[in-house]
Amino acid sequence: MGKHLHTTLADRFKYFTSPIRPRPDDIEIVRQQLSLLNKPARGILLGVTKELVELANDEIKMIAVDRSKDMIEHHWIGNNSNRIVKLADWLELESIATNINFVIGDGIFNVIDRKCQHQLMDCIRNVLADDGLLIVRVQCNPVVRETIKEIFENTTNNFCAFLSRLVNSICDSNFEVRGSEIFNKFKEYVTDIDIARFRWTKEDISIIEAHENSSHVITFLTEEMFTKLCDQHQMKILSKFNGSYQLSERNPTFIIRKD
């Protein structure tokens, strides 16, 4: 078995840019939604996304949950009176907190497989108060997938945008893909000439190299499929927002409440 993807990516996560990492307009959406909650509010951050951690304050208390010790060691910005981190599986949320006002996360439904998506949605529903919110950015697959030729014809020096489009295009019929398959397809399609032409850096390429032996499965649903996932677990999408960066149309932030 290969390593968990976040274990191998932990020391390279700093090289990610949008659309894989959230932009300020994505974070502003979350900040605005949290500001509307009755105070004081308490909730859970799934993962240790620095930009989301920094939204914790005296009126918004946050517990970050991540199962990767490496991610915590590399990216957690420190406990204080408003935020703490727990090393735990996301499916163990009920042992950490219940009746909370919010759950937030960035790409959390992408870094797990389809089966785990259902389990996680149930866990989130169980820990939220009746009026609690799930606020989550999801990297979605387009309804019509691009061909490799189409991807190359519209590629810029934004490596993470290229990677996101490539991964979308190579997902299997279940909309899943293994880390090692991402590495293999990149090596199959991308030459040194391409890397030089698009001015991708060695740090960019190190992101791909981290996938080489990974058996971890990630998932990219379409928006319609994500909506159905929510419906299946009695979670109602109240609204969605898109940022203003390359591929932001594939990376909406959803505001969701128990139905």
CB 45 within 8 Å of CB 69: no
pLDDT given for residue 4 in this prediction: 44
- Determine how β-strand 100-106 pairs with β-strand 60-66: unpaired
Beta bridge pairs of residue 178 = 217
Q: Are residues 159 and 214 in the same domain?
A: yes
pLDDT given for residue 156 in this prediction: 87
Print the domain residue range for 194.
Answer: 148-219
Q: Are residues 229 and 213 in the same domain?
A: no
Q: What is the pLDDT of residues 136-177, one digit of tens each?
A: 999 999 999 999 999 998 898 999 999 999 999 999 999 999
Which residue ranges of the chain lie beneath pLDDT 70?
A: 1-8
**Could you tell me the CATH number of the domain that includes residue 241?**
3.40.50.150
CA nearest neighbour of 107 among 55, 34, 46, 162: 46
Q: Are residues 108 and 199 in the same domain?
A: no
Nearby residues of 124 by Cβ (< 8 Å), 6 or more positions away: 93, 103, 134, 235
Q: d(Cα 99, Cα 154) in Å, to the nearest integer? A: 46
pLDDT given for residue 7 in this prediction: 53
Number of domains in the chain: 2
Q: Are residues 253 and 211 in the same domain?
A: no
Q: Identity (one letter) of the amino acid at 118?
A: H
DSSP string of 182-237, one letter each residue = HHHHHHHH--HHHHHHTT--HHHHHHHHTTTT---EEE---HHHHHHHHHHTTEEE
pLDDT given for residue 12 in this prediction: 80
Instruction: Kindly report the pTM of this predicted structure.
Output: 0.94
Q: Are residues 101 and 179 in the same domain?
A: no
pLDDT given for residue 45 in this prediction: 98
Q: Are residues 171 and 231 in the same domain?
A: no
Q: Are residues 47 and 91 in the same domain?
A: yes
pLDDT given for residue 25 in this prediction: 96
Residue 252 lies in a domain: yes
pLDDT given for residue 2 in this prediction: 34
Q: Are residues 152 and 231 in the same domain?
A: no
Q: Are residues 87 and 183 in the same domain?
A: no
Task: Spell out a b/e string for 170-187, using b for 16 or more CB atoms within 10 Å of the CB, else e.
Answer: bbeeebbbbbbbbbebbe
Q: d(Cα 115, Cα 37) in Å, to the nearest integer? A: 31
pLDDT given for residue 14 in this prediction: 83
